[in-house]
Amino acid sequence: MGIVFAPLGLVLVFTAAITPQWREGQARLGVGGPGAKGQGLGGRSGSVEALLLLRSDGLWESCLQVERSELKHCWPVVGPYKWDPRVRLAQGLVLTSLFLCGTGIVLACIGVRCWTDLPLRGVAASGGLLVVTAGLLSLTALGVYTHNLRGLGVDPGRRISSPRFPHLSLHPAGSLYFGWLGSCLQVLGGGALLFSFKRPRCPTCPSRPELPVCPACSSCPEITNKTDMDVYEVSC
């Protein structure tokens, strides 16, 4: 469960980080001939044609597209949105989360050691702890962004919309849902790695029951003289 969920969560969070659909908004912009002056945000009026503009923002990129057309333009985030401390906090948390999750997956793969019978439990648990921490960091970034979604990069002195710059009704977009799902998978996968590798119960020596021994030890002939198949079954 941990080996499957942790990489899947990493892929989903990475997909959310690089896509510009953290929040979306749309507005109708009236365009037309000279008779369109002053029509602004209305629908069709005389020679005025209303275009539906779709705006999307991510952590590092923003896009603007005209509905039902191939006209789309994307650019790196700029202005107040780029320097908003909450956006920069989300960027830092997501980058840290991706680094910790990748490191945790590497440690988990080394600790699980699927090619041997006995895993390195401490290494695998350390990887699980890093993956859980990564999931919590990305959840924090998503929570901060979602809570302040409509106010990110908004100058309080420019809240009044104009026909040239219509007001956008912003709402959460698809990248946020990818991030939420990936973060939850990271927490689940890291928790599975963290708590599933317990120290096995070694059988006690019939001659000296007060001393626990391991099947790999040679301190108890009653155990070490068993066949290889018996020893393999005990280690499982």
**CB contact at 8 A, 149 and 23:** yes
* Per-domain residue ranges of the chain: 2-154+169-196, 201-236
| Pair of tokens at residue 200 | 């096995």
Size (the chain), residues: 236
Extract the runs of DSSP E, i.e. beta strands, from 71-194.
Answer: 72-76, 171-172
Within 13 Å and on the Cβ side, how many CA atoms surround 201? Answer: 2
pLDDT by residue for the chain (236 residues), tens only, comes to 888 999 999 999 999 999 998 988 887 766 554 544 444 444 444 445 667 788 888 899 988 888 777 777 888 988 888 898 999 999 999 999 999 999 999 999 888 876 666 778 888 899 999 999 999 999 999 999 999 888 887 765 554 444 444 556 788 888 999 999 999 999 999 999 988 766 656 555 555 555 555 544 544 545 445 444 444 444 44
Instruction: Give the position of tokens 């317990």.
Output: 198
If 0-12 CB within 10 Å is exposed, 13-18 middle and 19+ buried, where does residue 155 land?
exposed
For 57, other C-beta atoms within 10 Å of its C-beta total 25
**CB contact at 8 A, 66 and 53:** yes
**CB contact at 8 A, 50 and 30:** yes
Write the single-letter amino acid at 12: L
Could you tell me which residues come within 8 angstroms of residue 151 by beta carbon, excluding any fewer than 6 positions away? none
Q: Among 3.60.40.10, 1.10.3720.10, 1.20.140.150, 1.20.1250.20, what is the CATH number of 2-154+169-196?
A: 1.20.140.150
If 0-12 CB within 10 Å is exposed, 13-18 middle and 19+ buried, where does residue 227 land?
exposed
If 0-12 CB within 10 Å is exposed, 13-18 middle and 19+ buried, where does residue 54 land?
middle
